[in-house]
């Protein structure tokens, strides 16, 4: 199977995983629910790399904007422009792109990294992706709700720290295992 076709198939698979991750919803009072789609979108970049990882997220965003209820059970282009979670959705794309690029550059630069160094680089990339998601989430939330950053952080960041810590811990070994298997 040629690499481009394999990448497109895996992008479609990850778009489906990101979409499926939005159906496990734990609502929170601030209006931003706990979902797995953030982890799946970050994994798309970490595992597939910048091009195919970002493509997977772009397909997910396109599906949701066209009416499939993959945005935490919601759908429509308006979610991308006027919902408090819109920043997170854009953050998924940027996180996949940047974290995938980070790993692509650093892991492919010297293919003989020790396991420890690979785990460290993957951990840094996953942390960068998480920071991007939260930063974009705060930007979108403040823009839509007209709250200040100080008012938004307790609603948009603090409730998610324990869950995202667990997601980070899970993403590192999953990336280590599947990135090697995928090899795009």
Enter the CATH code of domain 3-182: 1.10.1760.20
Which range is least confidently modeled, 73-77, 111-115, 122-126? Answer: 111-115
- pTM of the predicted protein model: 0.92
Mean pLDDT of 51-71: 96
pLDDT in tens, 147-179: 999 999 998 999 889 889 999 999 999 999 998
- Between CA 108 and CA 5 the distance in angstroms is 21
Cα dihedral 95, 64, 163, 39 in deg (nearest 10) = -40
Looking at residue 61, what is its pLDDT?
97
Q: What residue segments make up the domains of the chain, in order of their start?
A: 3-182
Mean pLDDT over the full length of the chain: 92
């Amino acid at each position: 199977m040629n690499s481009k076709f394999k990448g497109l198939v895996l992008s479609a698979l990850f778009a489906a995983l990101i979409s499926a991750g939005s159906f496990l919803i734990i609502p929170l009072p601030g209006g931003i629910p706990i979902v797995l789609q953030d982890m799946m979108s970050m994994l798309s970049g970490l595992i597939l790399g910048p091009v195919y990882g970002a493509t997977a997220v772009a397909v997910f965003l396109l599906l949701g904007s066209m009416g499939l209820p993959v945005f935490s059970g919601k759908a429509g282009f308006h979610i991308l422009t006027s919902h408090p979670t819109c920043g997170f959705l854009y953050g998924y794309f940027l996180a996949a792109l940047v974290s995938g690029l980070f790993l692509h550059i650093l892991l492919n630069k010297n293919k003989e990294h020790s396991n420890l160094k690979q785990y460290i680089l993957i951990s840094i990339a996953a942390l960068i992706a998480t920071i991007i998601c939260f930063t974009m989430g705060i930007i979108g939330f403040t823009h839509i709700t007209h709250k200040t950053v100080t008012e938004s952080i307790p609603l948009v960041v603090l409730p998610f720290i324990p869950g995202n810590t667990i997601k980070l811990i899970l993403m590192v070994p999953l990336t280590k295992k599947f990135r090697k298997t995928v090899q795009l």
